[in-house]
């Protein structure tokens, strides 16, 4: 080819094929949904088009002779601290198409990760540590509004009886839930897997904003149903199907931007669940146009409470943005029982890259400031806080809880558990791992049984680790860690950062 767009030369990956090992079995050709591998009739062998490789490593993982290696392509751009290769490539793409840059998953850019700069405490000599393998350890978590005070009356035999009427709670065996990923953005096999895993673990998964397929209503005791501005699949049965209702106002990966499931991903089953026509775009804009104020939010919260006859707590999910503490305070005052905060590193099935990488704030700072603000205002008991966005391991969960979270939402971790390699091309609908795709040929790569087991394994493993860390600190209940920032120390932070996080520097 004499001429090709400059774009083609500056792709991200190179497919290295070991000629001695390759047996031309074409597994890679069948596995690659981006058609980076192909069978060359003339040469009678498997060839590759590097420009099409997205770096998902599916071929590498499934090659029976381990003949394939996916490597980063080292383009020879001249070193430039300002014009880094990603910016040069963005411009080439946009100059070719005039389009908005779309991407998937959480932001990969180098925004400070405070989890890595926070260290946990452990007991030595005094207040001895606890061995969770042999002593009771409580991870049980209740999400919902807690009373300001408890009142008791005496029964005839003189024993006390609780007089205060408690608000509805979501009961979790671990302080972890599977975060909202709509049916449509990920396929049905993974929704079954999440529902089963949540049921087996005694936690909850969130439906996301794409409704709930009829066959999943039976997992209702472990389901939080989500209502977003597009109200896809939202009706009274849906609202009453789970143990909680979440109003999605914002998402960490795209604060201020709505959801937009392209028509090509709306297949028969997605169409049924969302109750919209086949192939039609599902547009869910950032604003709920019936919410322009805290009073309006109050109105929707109570419309949902009326519709569910006050049986379940109502959560409001927002993206972590500059004034998150004041916003969260308003949300609690509007009557929300749970505030879910999604940080800048939260995942997505599709978001404009500029938004994902530049809008919002890290969850650690948002969480700490919201918890502090609600305490200062004396309303922390009125709502639980759920932290989301880039929880990578059990230590992140422990740190989040010490910063004030009641529980963490995980989504990217759950997808990695079933094979996601963070190639970030979810928005194409061609996920070679069978996750962010509704193509039946690809979706069947996820077996719901196997996927559920992997999610269960992950949360159980984290649960053990959380117990170990708690025990090490001399705590026997997750409740004793909530907002207990004395169990955290900072390394390499500024005074301002430590002030916001409410932690001392290591050594103090």
Partner 1 sequence: MAKTFTLDASGIYYRQLNEQIREAVANGATKIVLNNVNGQRYIADALVGDLEFEINGVPGQDMCSFMRGPRVRVKANAQDGVGNTMDDGLVVIEGLAGDVVGYAMRGGKIFIKGDVGYRVGIHMKAYMEKLPTIIIGGKAGDFLGEYMAGGILLLLGMFSDKPTEPIAGRSLGTGMHGGVIYVRGEVPAEQIGPGLTAQPVDEADKAVIEELVKEYAKELGLNAKEILAADFVKIKPFSHRPYGNLYVPA
Residues that bind partner 1 (CB under 8 A): 93-94, 96-97, 99-102, 229-231, 234-236, 239, 260, 262-263, 271, 275-277, 279-281, 283, 285, 289-290, 299-300, 302-303, 306-309, 352, 425, 427-428, 430
Sign of CA dihedral 177, 183, 185, 191: positive
- To partner 1, the closest distance from the beta carbon of 360 in angstroms equals 21
Name the residue nearer to partner 1 (CB basis): 324 or 350. 350
What dihedral do alpha carbons 318, 322, 323, 328 form, nearest 10°?
Answer: 20
- To partner 1, the closest distance from the beta carbon of 274 in angstroms equals 8
- To partner 1, the closest distance from the beta carbon of 299 in angstroms equals 5
Q: Please state whether 360 falls in left (phi above 0), alpha (psi between -120 and 50) or beta.
A: left
Q: How far is CA 201 from the centre of its chain?
A: 18
How far apart (Å, rounded) are the C-alpha atoms in residues 167 and 301? Answer: 15
Name the residue nearer to partner 1 (CB basis): 61 or 307. 307
Name the residue nearer to partner 1 (CB basis): 261 or 475. 261
Task: Determine which helix (DSSP H) or strand (DSSP E) holds 355, and give its type and residue range.
Answer: helix 353-358
Name the residue nearer to partner 1 (CB basis): 179 or 308. 308
Name the residue nearer to partner 1 (CB basis): 247 or 403. 247
Place of tokens 């969960």: 397
For the residues of 279-332, what is the DSSP string, one character each?
T--EEE-SS-TT-SSHHHHHHHHHHHHHHTTT-S-EEEEEE--TTHHHHHHHHH
Sequence-ordered list of residues with C-beta below 8 angstroms from that of 363, at least 6 positions apart, any chain: 252, 320, 341, 342, 343, 344, 345, 346, 387, 388, 389, 390, 400
Sequence-ordered list of residues with C-beta below 8 angstroms from that of 54, at least 6 positions apart, any chain: 12, 13, 34, 36, 423, 425
Helix (H, G, I), strand (E, B) or coil at 168: coil
Nearest to 279 by CA among 181, 180, 184: 184
Name the residue nearer to partner 1 (CB basis): 410 or 436. 436
Sign of CA dihedral 144, 150, 151, 152: positive
CB burial of residue 66 (10 Å; 0-12, 13-18, 19+): exposed
CA separation, residue 194 to residues 187, 227, 386, 438, 454 (Å): 11, 18, 18, 16, 10
Name the residue nearer to partner 1 (CB basis): 173 or 299. 299
- To partner 1, the closest distance from the beta carbon of 51 in angstroms equals 13
- As beta bridge partners, residue 437 has none
- To partner 1, the closest distance from the beta carbon of 354 in angstroms equals 12
Helix (H, G, I), strand (E, B) or coil at 474: coil
- To partner 1, the closest distance from the beta carbon of 283 in angstroms equals 6
- To partner 1, the closest distance from the beta carbon of 228 in angstroms equals 10
Name the residue nearer to partner 1 (CB basis): 273 or 413. 273
Tokens for 194?
A: 């999440």
For the residues of 246-269, what is the DSSP string, one character each?
EEE---TTSTT--EEE-GGG--HH
- To partner 1, the closest distance from the beta carbon of 211 in angstroms equals 11
- To partner 1, the closest distance from the beta carbon of 463 in angstroms equals 37
- To partner 1, the closest distance from the beta carbon of 428 in angstroms equals 4
- To partner 1, the closest distance from the beta carbon of 203 in angstroms equals 27
How far apart (Å, rounded) are the C-alpha atoms in residues 139 and 142? Answer: 10
Name the residue nearer to partner 1 (CB basis): 211 or 330. 211
Name the residue nearer to partner 1 (CB basis): 27 or 350. 350
Name the residue nearer to partner 1 (CB basis): 288 or 445. 288
Cβ count within 10 A of residue 81: 5
């Amino acid at each position: 080819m004499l001429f090709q767009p400059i774009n083609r030369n500056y792709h991200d990956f190179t497919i290295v094929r070991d000629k001695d090992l390759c047996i031309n079995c074409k597994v890679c050709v069948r596995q690659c949904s981006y058609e980076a591998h192909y069978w060359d009739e003339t040469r009678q062998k498997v060839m590759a088009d590097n420009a099409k490789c997205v770096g998902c490593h599916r071929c590498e993982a499934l090659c029976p002779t381990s003949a394939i290696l996916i490597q980063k392509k080292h383009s020879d751009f001249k070193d430039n601290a300002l014009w880094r290769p990603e910016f040069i490539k963005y411009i080439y793409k946009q100059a070719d198409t005039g389009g908005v840059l779309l991407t998937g998953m959480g932001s990969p850019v180098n925004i400070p990760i405070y989890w890595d700069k926070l260290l946990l405490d452990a007991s030595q000599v005094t207040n001895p540590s606890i061995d969770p393998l042999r002593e009771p350890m409580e991870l049980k978590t209740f999400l919902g509004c807690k009373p300001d005070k408890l009142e008791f009356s005496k029964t005839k035999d003189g024993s006390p009886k609780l007089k205060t009427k408690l608000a509805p709670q979501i009961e979790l065996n671990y302080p972890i839930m599977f975060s909202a990923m709509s049916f449509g953005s990920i396929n049905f096999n993974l929704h079954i897997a999440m529902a089963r895993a949540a049921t087996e673990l005694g936690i909850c998964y969130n439906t996301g904003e794409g409704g709930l397929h009829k066959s999943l209503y039976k997992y209702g005791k472990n389901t939080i149903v989500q209502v977003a501005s597009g109200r896809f699949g939202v009706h009274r049965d849906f609202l009453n199907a789970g143990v909680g209702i979440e109003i999605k106002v914002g998402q960490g990966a795209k604060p201020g931007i709505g959801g937009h499931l392209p028509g090509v991903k709306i297949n028969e089953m997605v169409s049924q669940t969302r109750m919209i026509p086949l192939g039609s775009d599902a547009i869910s804009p950032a604003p709920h146009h019936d919410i322009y104020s805290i009073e309006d939010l109050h109105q929707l919260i109570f419309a949902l409470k009326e519709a569910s006859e006050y049986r379940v707590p109502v959560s409001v999910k927002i993206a972590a943005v500059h004034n998150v503490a004041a916003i969260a305070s308003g949300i609690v005052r509007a009557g929300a029982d749970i505030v879910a905060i999604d940080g800048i590193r939260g995942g997505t099935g599709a978001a404009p890259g500029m938004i994902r990488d530049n809008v919002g704030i890290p969850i650690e700072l948002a969480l700490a400031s919201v918890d502090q603000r609600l305490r200062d205002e004396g309303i922390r008991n009125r709502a639980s806080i759920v932290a989301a966005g880039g929880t990578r391991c059990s230590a992140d969960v422990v740190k989040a809880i010490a910063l004030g979270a009641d529980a963490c939402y995980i989504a990217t971790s759950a997808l990695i558990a079933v094979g996601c390699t963070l190639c970030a091309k979810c928005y194409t609908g061609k996920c070679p791992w069978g996750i962010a795709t509704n193509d039946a040929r690809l979706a069947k790569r996820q077996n719901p049984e196997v996927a559920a087991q992997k999610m269960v394994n992950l949360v159980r493993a984290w649960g053990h680790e959380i117990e170990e860390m708690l025990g090490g600190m001399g705590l026997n209940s997750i409740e004793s860690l909530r907002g207990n920032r004395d169990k955290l120390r900072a390394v390499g932070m500024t005074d301002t950062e430590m002030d916001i996080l409410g932690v001392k520097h290591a050594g103090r």
